[in-house]
Amino acid sequence: MTQKVYTVSERTSIKEAVRMLLPHHIRHLPVTNGSRLVGIVTDRDIRRASPGLLSGIGREDYEQVLLTTPVSRIMTREPVTVTPDTPLVDAVRLMVEKKFGSFPVVEGDHLVGIFTEIDALKVLLEKMQ
29 pLDDT exceeds 90?
yes
31, 10 contact by CB (below 8 A): yes
Distance CA(16)–CA(21), nearest Å, equals 9
Distance CA(102)–CA(122), nearest Å, equals 14
CA-wise closest residue to 12 among 27, 25, 31, 28: 31
* pLDDT tens figures, 33-88: 999 999 999 999 999 988 776 677 888 888 888 999 999 999 999 999 999 999 99
Q: Does domain 14-128 have CATH number 3.40.50.800?
A: no
